[in-house]
């Protein structure tokens, strides 16, 4: 056992020295950059899977719920860059898109819906406003700015949502 102590101690010290040398100075308190999400393909045209069954009343009329869920499925390039303000970052959501879509296949097909959006008025309202602005021709950056302006002053938290790519660039 003692024969292993010296090499382990040397290895640990070397690893520590490399990590300290590679890390930025301790005086910097910059928040970590939020990584852009991997590009998601929209759900292809055609029928979408049925929404999940839940044991509670939806937070908005079912026609609104269906419209927002379909928008999330068909436009991840919008809702993937729009924050949500209901506190759902505590369950791992990164954007308003995550309130509705839990997973999708590489080709964009919806694999699983997230039922959270069904019962959350904030999620649905953010998604519906983003959908309305998108349908009016607003850019993703302008949509995000409008949503932030409306919600950030009155609700204490939001998802750690990356900024949309600059015009002319892809993520």
- 3-state SS, 36-68, equals CCCCCCCCCCCCCCCCCCCCCCCCCCHHHHHHH
Helices (H), the chain: 2-22, 62-74, 76-79, 121-135, 140-151
Q: pLDDT-derived band of residue 153, with 50, 70 and 90 as boundaries? A: confident
pLDDT at 36: 55
pLDDT, position 102: 98
Q: What is the pLDDT of residue 155?
A: 87
Residue-level pLDDT at 38: 62
Q: Is residue 39 very low, low, confident or very high in pLDDT (cuts 50, 70, 90)?
A: confident
CB 51 within 8 A of CB 69: yes
20-40 core/surface letters (b: 16 or more CB in 10 A; e: else): eeeeeeeeeeeeeeeeebeeb
Q: Is the pLDDT of residue 53 over 60?
A: yes
Joined together, the tokens standing for residue 84 give 């949500």
Percent of the chain with pLDDT over 70: 75
Place of tokens 């999620």: 123
Q: In this predicted structure, what is the pLDDT of residue 77?
A: 97
Q: How far apart are alpha carbons 65 and 137 in whole angstroms?
A: 22
Rounded Cα–Cα distance for residues 86 and 8 (Å)? 47
Angle CA 65–109–78, to nearest 5: 55
- Are 158 and 152 within 8 A, CB to CB? yes
C-alpha closest to that of 72 among 122, 114, 35, 119:
114
How would residue 29 be classed by pLDDT, with cut points 50, 70 and 90?
Answer: very low
Q: Residues 101-121: pLDDT tens digits?
A: 999 999 999 999 999 999 999
Sorted by sequence, the CB contacts under 8 Å of residue 50 that are 6+ apart come out as: none
């Amino acid at each position: 056992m003692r024969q292993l102590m010296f090499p382990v101690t040397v290895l640990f010290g070397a690893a520590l020295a490399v990590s300290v040398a590679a890390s930025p100075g301790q005086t910097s308190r910059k928040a970590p950059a939020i990584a852009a999400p991997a590009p998601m393909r929209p759900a292809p045209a055609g029928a979408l899977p049925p929404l999940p069954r839940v044991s509670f009343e939806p937070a908005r009329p079912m026609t609104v719920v269906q419209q927002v869920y379909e928008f999330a499925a068909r436009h991840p390039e919008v809702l993937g860059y729009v924050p949500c303000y209901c506190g759902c970052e505590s369950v791992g959501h990164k954007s308003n898109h995550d309130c509705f879509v839990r997973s999708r296949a590489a080709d964009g097909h919806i694999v699983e819906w997230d039922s959270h959006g069904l019962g959350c008025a904030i999620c649905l309202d953010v998604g519906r406003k983003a959908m309305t602005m998108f349908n009016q021709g607003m850019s993703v950056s302008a949509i995000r700015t409008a949503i932030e302006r409306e919600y950030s002053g009155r609700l204490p938290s939001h998802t750690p949502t990356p900024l949309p790519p600059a015009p002319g660039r892809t993520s």
